[in-house]
A and B are shown apart, each in its own frame.
Chain A
Amino acid sequence: MGSQQHGGSGQDTAASPRHRSDTTLRVNGTPRTLTVDNRRVLLDLLREDLGLIGAKKGCDHGQCGACTVLVDGRRVNSCLLLAVALDGCEITTVEGLAGDGEELHPLQRAFRKRDAFQCGYCTPGQLCSAAGVLAEAAAGHPSHVTDPARPSGEPVPLDREEIRERLSGNLCRCGAYPHIVEAVEDVIP
């Protein structure tokens, strides 16, 4: 049940046909086939073509993390990835974190409970990044602060220092960091 779309309004005139490509992505579980401007990054595809405004544009240059989403389960800065290069990929945005239904993802619940945001602009990126962190640690990916003597490949326990290190690509100008770390700690299995 895919859907065929042709980008945002006026897209057809904004790039000549040879500068556009058909691209298929699975976004939050739904296949989407779009004809996209080759210059379009994943972030703009989500926001402009699919109306998924959760991923935010803080800098458009890979410097802030507000645009973080999961591509095939790994966190990425979606402002840095050309959409046409992601043909066939599985994208999860903050809108899809919880899956179907009204229930929030445990991270989303913990963020609310801990008041882990103020303006909320960095929040979708923090949430997706945190989801990525949990998976990376479980898969044994070390970080800069992981003890080098740890056997590789085994799950890395996430203490506060690990969480802070691993989330440092997600800036929060409101300074919600201490509460974000507490919220992530709350959901560590």
Chain B
Amino acid sequence: MTGTETALGAPAERREGREKVTGTARYAAEYDRPGRTHAWPVPATVARGRVTGVDTAAALAQPGVLAVLTHENAPRLAEPDDATLAVLQDAKVPHRGWFVALVVAETPEAARAGATAVRVSYDVEPHDSVLRRDHPASYAAEQANGGHPGSTEHGDPDTAFASAEVRVDVEYDVPPLHNHPMEPHSSTARWDGDRLIVETSSQGTSTARDVLAGMFAMPAERITVVAEHVGGGFGSKGTPRPDVVLAAMAARHTGRPVTLTLPRRLLPSVVGHRAPTLHRLRLGAGADGRLTALVHDVTTHTSRVKEFVEQAAVPARVMYAAPHSRTVHRVAPLDVPSPSWMRAPGEAPGMYALESAMDELAGELGMDPVELRVRNEPETEPDSGKPFSSRHLVECLREGARRFGWSRRDPRPRSGRTGPLLVGTGVAAATYPVMVSPSTAAARALPDGTFLVQVNATDIGTGARTVVAQIAADALGVEPGRVRIEVGSSDLPYASLAGGSSGTASWGWPVHDACVSLAERLAGRSGPLPEQGIEARADTAGRADADSPYARHAFGAHFAEVTVDTVSGEVRVRRLLGVYAAGRILNARTARSQFIGGMTMGLGMALTEDSTVDAPFGDFAESDLASYHVPAHADVPSVEAHWIEEDDPHLNPMGSKGIGEIGIVGTAAAIGNAVHHATGIRFRRLPLTPDRVLTGLLAHESPAPV
């Protein structure tokens, strides 16, 4: 074969597959350095106040306990940009679960026993932790996550809505959600003289190194951060979390290597969560289905530590042509843990609400929901007026409808029934922005005919090693088997983090460029290569982050078939089908797994994943995997992902858009719409658990007298 023709897009097997199936792949807690110790955090048990004392005597008396770090004795650090990392720096307790001490011991058992023995006393202040639509503390945010303006307005949406022929004015609630990657956040840290070496479960070690350099006031060159294998992140390991700071502090304090694995139950309070979002959607349309007004209001919460605004009204700026529109984010700072990124922040909850409202509008109009979306396809991006670099939403809808068998659907709600089961189908659209960040890479040709490509990509399960090798092989015109890849260490050429579905584009671009210039240099020379080979480097700064005259987004369409048990209220998904238009798909095998993984998380968002801020305590009631239900095998039957190849020259040299997040985006709405089709009842609060559905079914059978 010639690499150029087949390396990109081929379903190459994961390069680290053997390590992962034999149990030799090493994750952050698995570096057993000589003399290693273990740490266990102590979380605050009050929602707001100050630590007035930490009694460490009983903890230190435990056999094997070496030290207890508190705000009184922990190393002083420079103030981080991300205030959630300023752990053990002062007595303040900004939310329940905030770490107030850290026990270091010879073994995990001793550390745990020590943490249980630490006695903390507090000055408690009254707290306020529960979000409401009319919360008096809420304000219109200047900016939402991702640097988006907090509010936008075009035309006169209020008048247009009031005079629309057909109107939908509805509210949806999405609860807080938790990333819960299967590998809990872990870090192993050690100091070697004035050097700091850290293995951490992070989505980006260049970023982690820079953050640590700032906080420990030392040059980045003296820090190495490694993330060889990472057990998932889904946003919650995007930037460093408190574990890595605590491990480095504890290693400095004790002079020993320290491993800190955050106990599962403590994750939701300290690693970020998807903030709850309360939506109000107003859609006005003509009888022909064309939108005349679109208003999306979002109310969400943030912590007292930092402002994070889930950008849930942002997709409404991209999706449909509506001459009059408004999008607003309101945020209430509460005494709650700090929210952060969870897979498709903004898009996932925002599109749940928008796509459910579109389904309601289709119902009001008596129009097919696929056709309604096609009819509102915009010519340019509604908010910016920019042309789309490529947009194949209509093709995704049509192709999905064909594959799913949509034309056989009886549009009448409650038209499908087998025994006690109501059967329904639903559709929703999806979108996710194209993001890419400047990165660098090096490519070296070696005398034995092989190549070494180095880029500090992070493989959190996406298959980064594999796809980077394909990109390199393609640019070099050689077999991927001749290309060795090094990723996952901050000592490698600087690269951006695995987040915002930007990894492959960001890392692949400099890899491609370095390999192209290396291939040119090889073509222009004869004779054997020097022993160390020859190397080419590339840096995409100034290009990857250049403004584009195009609006660049991936699109997709989701279809779902569900059954609703009229006896138990249980909703089960029979099949999920997604069709995506996300540029060029670079590895058919790993891409499919990412799409399916996103859809599975969307199934969880629709049916099983539910978290509540517990008013008296001020943090999450469902904090472990026994109470916070991520989908299990039995919840997930047939999930199919397909795609439409796009040829988009306005992206990057590979022509790819991100694929890690779009799979979750429309899934919950498609399932919710299918439940409506099955039952004739519109549930507007996620997740659709049996208690809620059964209550709805019973109220539907025997409505309360008016």
Contact = CB atoms under 8 A, between A and B. Distances in A.
B634 interface: yes
Interface string B444-475: 00000000000000001111000000000000
Nearest to A8: B107
Contact of B63 (A16, A173, A174): A16
Contact of A174 (B22, B24, B64, B461): B461
Nearest to B261: A57
Nearest to A41: B109
Contact of A47 (B22, B30, B63, B601): B30
Interface in A110-147: 111-113, 115, 117-124, 127
Interface stretch (B122-130, B318-326, B588-596): B588-596
B638 interface: yes
A167 B633 contact: yes
B253 interface: no
Chain A contact surface mostly: loop
B231 A171 contact: no
A95 B634 contact: no
B232 A51 contact: no
Nearest to A57: B261
Nearest to A163: B633
Contacts of A44: 108-109
A10 B64 contact: yes
Given A58-B264, A120-B461, A121-B231, A176 B593 contact: yes
B599 A94 contact: no
Interface in B250-304: 261, 263-265
B140 interface: no
Contacts of B597: 118, 174-176
Instruction: Give the 4 A-B CB pairs with smallest separation, nearest first.
Output: A54-B23, A14-B64, A175-B600, A121-B231
B633 A177 contact: yes
Interface residues of B, number: 72
A150 interface: no
Nearest to A63: B625
B23 A174 contact: no
20 contacts: A11-B106, A14-B63, A16-B63, A53-B27, A56-B183, A63-B625, A93-B23, A94-B22, A112-B13, A112-B17, A120-B19, A120-B231, A121-B27, A121-B181, A123-B20, A164-B637, A165-B634, A171-B182, A172-B633, A175-B599
A148 to B, nearest CB: 18
Chain B contact surface mostly: loop
Contact of A58 (B32, B105, B184, B639): B184
Interface in B1-49: 13-14, 16-27, 29-30, 32, 34-37
B105 A14 contact: yes
A168 B184 contact: no
A10 B37 contact: yes
B624 interface: yes
B598 interface: yes
A59 interface: yes
A40 B110 CA distance: 10
Contacts of B181: 119, 121, 173
A112 B13 CA distance: 7
B21 A112 contact: yes
B77 interface: no
A9 B34 contact: yes
Contacts of B523: none
B243 to A, nearest CB: 14
A51 B27 CA distance: 13
A10 B265 CA distance: 27
A74 interface: no
Nearest to B462: A118
A16 B62 CA distance: 10
Interface of B: 13-14, 16-27, 29-30, 32, 34-37, 63-64, 105-110, 113, 179-184, 229-232, 234, 261, 263-265, 460-463, 589-590, 592-594, 596-601, 624-626, 630-634, 636-639
Contacts of B34: 9
B107 A52 contact: no
Given A16-B63, A61-B626, 5 more contacts: A112-B13, A117-B20, A121-B27, A164-B636, A177-B631
Contacts of A167: 633
Interface residues of A, number: 68
A108 to B, nearest CB: 4
Nearest to B17: A112
A49 B445 CA distance: 42
B203 to A, nearest CB: 11
A119 B633 contact: no
Given A9-B34, A10-B37, A37-B107, A108 B21 contact: yes
A74 to B, nearest CB: 19
Given A63-B626, A121-B27, A176-B597, A10 B264 contact: no
A13 interface: yes
B636 A104 contact: no
A175 B230 CA distance: 15
Contacts of A70: none
A66 interface: yes
B634 A52 contact: no
A188 interface: no
Contact of A48 (B18, B107, B180): B107
A76 interface: no
Nearest to B640: A178
Contacts of A24: none
Contacts of B234: 173
